[in-house]
């Protein structure tokens, strides 16, 4: 295509987040292809984005964040659960906690067992995890050494990090040196998307280098109102998007494809605004039905977590860093040298365990933090303490995302139905009890003060359930609202190549197309999926399948640890 017409492109990518930045980079590696990347939010120049320890700031306000909240959750005392989503270059990779976790191999084996998804097995996905990554500790059969995404491992200088890992060992859980390698199960040091003391978002890893190419155009503060389809085409063919511009919308054309990468909330929202979704609900809002796909916005999954907090008897926690003078010193060291407490996300140890015998791969995840504080900083610490974030990995509750009106500016209705099943409640009870057991081990004897939350009085199933209803929060991993699956699956929205069923020239590439949420954080899997699908879109031969084995506990059927 000639570059002469500035409003005609080969590909239009909607959303410059974890997946969208990867696609923008990989598609423009072909100099004959012209790509437009649209982002509703601003650029990512804020120091609060790039300083790893400051991630609570963009999480806690709407400057770089859609700042969504759920509807009153029926199984969580009617609370509206906070659901931040990145609205900035880099998307949620620019405001998240920077934890790098891939999920378990059996998650991807589960995907591949579903019709039409055989090429999403662990052996197919691992090469793309490696392709995406440069690991500071070096490459091996599991880890990459030449990819744009830099990944480092926590130094664990605070003794509380090692105390958590050793307490796990004393409780009977193995130490794992690399939970993204052969063995996820166990406790150990955690990886983060931090490079030379700076957050390494997909904007840094992928978009910055790609923006030097003449065949990529990036537009910020560009809100897409809908996907436009060619009149009379059968099946309906996406030919571009309408971008809100004041009181009107401008049409921008795509010659090859429109690709939605807005994430698990915004991608189904935009599909519905474009006439793709449950036909009854679309007609109720006066929208023309382009493709009747009842699965759009359904199957919403997320990880819920709670904090198990304990007071610390020694003044070694991050509470010492919370006063203004300490923050000033931390910020100065980070600005001058890119080192110190400002250069880490502080989630430097954690791990995965199984909640009971008979569970084949870990269903509980830990992030350990040497401070007692809320994830987004909204409940500041007032004492020396430490905490484990813990929650179930494969929830059985399902929610939905539904537009309220035909306006792209109005937030959709989001309902997760957290703790809506007995299985989810059972796993969360186990999470608290097993965490208490770890914290009771000798490794914490010199540090352990009083239980803070939940208190010692919270013991019975009913008491733990009540505590969870009142205090648990999202781990910020919404997914699965445009799930991949065969055309015979009435709830599938996309096929195994991320193409939207019932239309042509339209794909969704982000965490919304996961058929089921993976056992871990979602940034690394979303990047992997975009890397893999970029090859699909370009018609390239997939990377050779991996033969690397993965760990499953030999006695998982009869032993919990």
CATH of the domain at 175: 3.30.410.40
Task: State whether 185 and 83 are in the same domain.
Answer: no
Task: State whether 25 and 43 are in the same domain.
Answer: yes
- Tokens 């990459």 -> residue: 144
Distance of alpha carbon 44 from alpha carbon 86, whole angstroms: 11
Q: What is the reported pLDDT for 228?
A: 98
Local structure of 186: helix, strand or coil: strand
**Would you say residue 133 lies in a domain?**
no
Distance of alpha carbon 373 from alpha carbon 147, whole angstroms: 34
In this model, does residue 230 exceed pLDDT 80?
A: yes
Q: What is the dihedral of CA 455, 460, 461, 466, to 10 degrees?
A: -40
Model confidence band, residue 1 (pLDDT cutoffs 50, 70, 90): very low
Tokens of 502: 């019932």
Q: What is the reported pLDDT for 8?
A: 79
Local structure of 260: helix, strand or coil: strand
Task: State whether 367 and 453 are in the same domain.
Answer: yes
Catalytic residue among 104, 477, 501, 553: 477
- Identify any residues that bridge with 229 across adjacent strands, giving them in sequence order: 238
Binding residues for FAD are 88, 96-99, 224
**Would you say residue 402 lies in a domain?**
no
Q: Please write the tens of the pLDDT for every residue from 260-295.
A: 999 999 999 999 999 999 999 999 999 999 999 999
Task: State whether 36 and 179 are in the same domain.
Answer: no
**Would you say residue 549 lies in a domain?**
no
**Would you say residue 367 lies in a domain?**
yes
Task: State whether 374 and 442 are in the same domain.
Answer: yes
- Tokens 């059972």 -> residue: 426
Task: State whether 176 and 36 are in the same domain.
Answer: no
Task: State whether 461 and 348 are in the same domain.
Answer: yes
Task: State whether 320 and 430 are in the same domain.
Answer: yes
Q: Please write the tens of the pLDDT for every residue from 474-512.
A: 999 999 999 999 999 999 999 999 999 999 999 999 999
Task: State whether 183 and 201 are in the same domain.
Answer: no
Task: State whether 10 and 94 are in the same domain.
Answer: yes
Distance of alpha carbon 258 from alpha carbon 290, whole angstroms: 15
Q: Indicate which CATH number applies to the domain containing 239.
A: 3.50.50.60
**Would you say residue 219 lies in a domain?**
yes
Q: What is the reported pLDDT for 5?
A: 56
Among 156, 154, 157, 132, residue whose Cα is nearest residue 142: 132
**Would you say residue 80 lies in a domain?**
yes
Task: State whether 312 and 357 are in the same domain.
Answer: yes
* Segments of 380-420 assigned E as strands: 385-392, 400-402, 413-415
**Would you say residue 499 lies in a domain?**
yes
Task: State whether 345 and 442 are in the same domain.
Answer: yes
Number of neighbours of residue 2 by Cβ within 10 angstroms: 6
User: What is the tally of structural domains in the chain?
Assistant: 2
Cα distances from 250 to residues 68, 121, 147, 237, 434, in angstroms, run: 26, 41, 36, 18, 55
Q: Please write the tens of the pLDDT for every residue from 75-110.
A: 999 999 999 999 999 999 999 999 999 999 999 999
Concerning whether 471 is annotated as a catalytic residue, the answer is no
**Would you say residue 104 lies in a domain?**
no
Q: Which domain holds residue 209?
A: 1-99+194-300+479-511+518-540
Tokens of 426: 């059972």
Distance of alpha carbon 31 from alpha carbon 37, whole angstroms: 16
């Amino acid at each position: 295509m000639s570059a002469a017409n500035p409003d005609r492109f080969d590909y239009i990518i909607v959303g410059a987040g974890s997946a969208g930045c990867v696609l923008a980079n990989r598609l423009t590696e072909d100099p004959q292809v012209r790509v437009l990347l649209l982002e509703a939010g601003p650029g990512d120049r804020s120091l609060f984005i790039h300083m790893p320890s400051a991630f609570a700031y963009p999480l806690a306000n709407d400057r770089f964040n859609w700042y969504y909240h759920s509807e009153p959750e029926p199984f969580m005392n009617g609370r509206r659960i906070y659901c931040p989503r990145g609205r900035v270059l880099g998307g949620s990779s620019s405001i998240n906690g920077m934890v790098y976790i891939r999920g378990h191999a059996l998650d991807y084996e589960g995907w591949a067992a579903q019709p039409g998804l055989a090429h999403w097995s662990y052996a197919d996905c691992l090469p793309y995890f490696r392709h995406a990554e440069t690991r500071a500790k070096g490459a091996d059969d599991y880890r990459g050494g030449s990819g744009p995404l830099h990944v480092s491992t926590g130094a664990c200088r605070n003794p509380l990090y090692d105390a958590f890992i050793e307490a796990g060992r004393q409780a009977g859980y193995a130490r794992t040196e690399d939970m993204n390698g052969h063995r996820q199960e166990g406790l150990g040091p955690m990886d983060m998307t931090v490079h030379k003391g700076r957050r390494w978002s997909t904007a840094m890893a992928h978009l910055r280098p790609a923006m030097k190419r003449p065949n990529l155009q990036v537009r910020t503060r560009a809100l897409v109102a809908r996907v436009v389809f060619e009149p009379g085409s059968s099946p309906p063919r996406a030919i571009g998007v309408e971008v809100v511009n004041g009181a009107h919308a401008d049409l921008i054309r795509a010659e090859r494809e429109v690709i939605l990468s807005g994430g698990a909330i915004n991608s189904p929202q935009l599909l519905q605004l474009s006439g793709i979704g449950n036909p009854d609900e679309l007609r109720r809002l006066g929208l023309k039905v382009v493709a009747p796909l009842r699965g759009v916005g359904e199957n919403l999954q997320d990880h819920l977590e709670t904090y198990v907090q304990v007071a610390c008897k020694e003044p070694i926690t991050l509470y010492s860093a919370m006063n203004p003078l300490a923050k000033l010193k931390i910020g100065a060291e980070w600005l001058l040298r890119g080192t110190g407490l400002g250069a880490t996300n502080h989630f430097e140890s954690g791990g995965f365990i199984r909640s009971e015998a008979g569970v084949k791969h870990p269903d509980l995840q830990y992030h350990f933090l040497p401070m007692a504080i809320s994830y987004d900083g909204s409940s500041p610490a007032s004492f020396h303490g430490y905490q484990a974030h813990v929650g179930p990995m494969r929830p059985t509750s399902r929610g939905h995302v539904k537009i309220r009106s035909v306006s792209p500016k109005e937030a959709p209705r989001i309902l997760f139905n957290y703790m809506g099943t007995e299985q989810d409640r059972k796993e969360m009870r186990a999470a608290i009890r097993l965490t208490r057991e770890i914290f009771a081990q000798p490794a914490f004897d010199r540090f352990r003060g009083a239980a803070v939350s939940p208190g010692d009085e919270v013991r019975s199933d009913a008491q733990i359930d009540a505590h969870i209803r009142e205090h648990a929060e999202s781990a910020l991993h919404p997914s699965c609202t445009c799930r991949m699956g065969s055309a015979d699956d009435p709830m599938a929205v996309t096929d195994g190549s991320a193409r939207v069923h019932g239309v042509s020239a339209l794909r969704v590439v982000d965490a919304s197309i996961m058929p089921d949420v993976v056992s871990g954080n979602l940034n690394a899997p979303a990047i992997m999926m975009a890397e893999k699908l970029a090859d699909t879109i370009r018609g390239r031969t997939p990377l050779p399948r991996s033969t690397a084995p993965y760990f499953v506990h030999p006695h998982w059927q009869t032993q919990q640890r």
